[in-house]
Each structure stands twice: as structure tokens, then as C-alpha cells.
Amino acid sequence: MTQRLDYMQVSPAGVKALGGVYGYVAQCGLAPELVELVFLRISQINHCAYCLDMHTRDLLKKGVAVEKLALVQVWDEGGALFDARERAALAWAESVTRVATTGVPDADFAAARAVFGEKELADLTIAIGLMNTYNRLAISFRNVPQAVAAAAR
């Protein structure tokens, strides 16, 4: 894999604007581990190698068990590994990320709303939109995952 374009270099103001949204998400009150799990699941759906590598590393640094990480893509079969908030956030992330297919049905909204307050759900949806944007940048411009770069050295 070869990087096509360094968007951070050629569009620093755009990257800075996205960083502002990332900063908001980081301080909005949602649990950091929950947000990272959502970021990982979105990156799995979008097949973003760069973000999968990054968010897996971040979750490991936060002390999340490898067994839990291994089951993120099948979280609904993960039983007690995922709490109610994590399950609701992951389900919402899947529905919103696949918006062209799902249309984000009322039942998905009701399930998420049963667990999250209005502000939390709005903030979670902002986080989901942000990660989808980051995935599209990394995939489009072929950001090289840290593990791939290390293996090439």
C-alpha cells in the first residue's frame, strides 16, 4: 500500500477543522472507551485498515481485553463482554454508518434513545459521522497503517 496523497499536508485547515470536532467528542461526556469501540466498529464496516490499526492500538492502551476486541465485529454475540450502553452505541453506529441501506429506522432510534439521553445521542452521532469522514479520507488517500509501515522497515 502506498499513500496517494498526504491530506494533512495539503489541507491543514480542513484537518484542523476535523480536529476541532474530534476535540469536542473527546470532552462531550461520552466514555472514551465507548467512543473508541464505536470508532473501531465503524472502521471495520468501512474496511479502513489505517483506522482499524489505530483504534485497536488505542483500545489496547486503554486496557481493553483482546477477547473483547476480537468480538467487536460480532458484538451482539459477545454476551457480558459488552454492557448495555456499548451494545446500544454499536447498534446505532452500524445503522447510521450504513444509512444508505438502513435509512436509520425508527426502531433503531428508539433502541438508542432508550439508553442514551438526547445530548448523548446527538454527540454519539457526531462521533459516528466524524469517524466515517476520517475513514473516507484514510481509504481514499491510502493512509498506511502503522503495522504495515513497521513491517516494511
Alpha helices in 2-153 (DSSP H): 7-10, 12-27, 32-46, 49-61, 66-70, 84-97, 99-102, 106-113, 118-140, 146-152
Q: 19-36 pLDDT, tens per residue?
A: 999 999 999 999 999 999
Fold topology of 7-152: AhpD-like (1.20.1290)
Q: Which amino acid is at 132?
A: N
Q: 79-123 pLDDT, tens per residue?
A: 999 999 999 999 999 999 999 999 999 999 999 999 999 999 999
Cα–Cα distance measured from residue 50 to residue 143, given in angstroms and rounded to the nearest whole number: 6
Q: 30-74 pLDDT, tens per residue?
A: 999 999 999 999 999 999 999 999 999 999 999 999 999 999 999
Cell of 66: 483482546
Cell of 80: 457480558
Which pTM does this prediction carry? 0.94
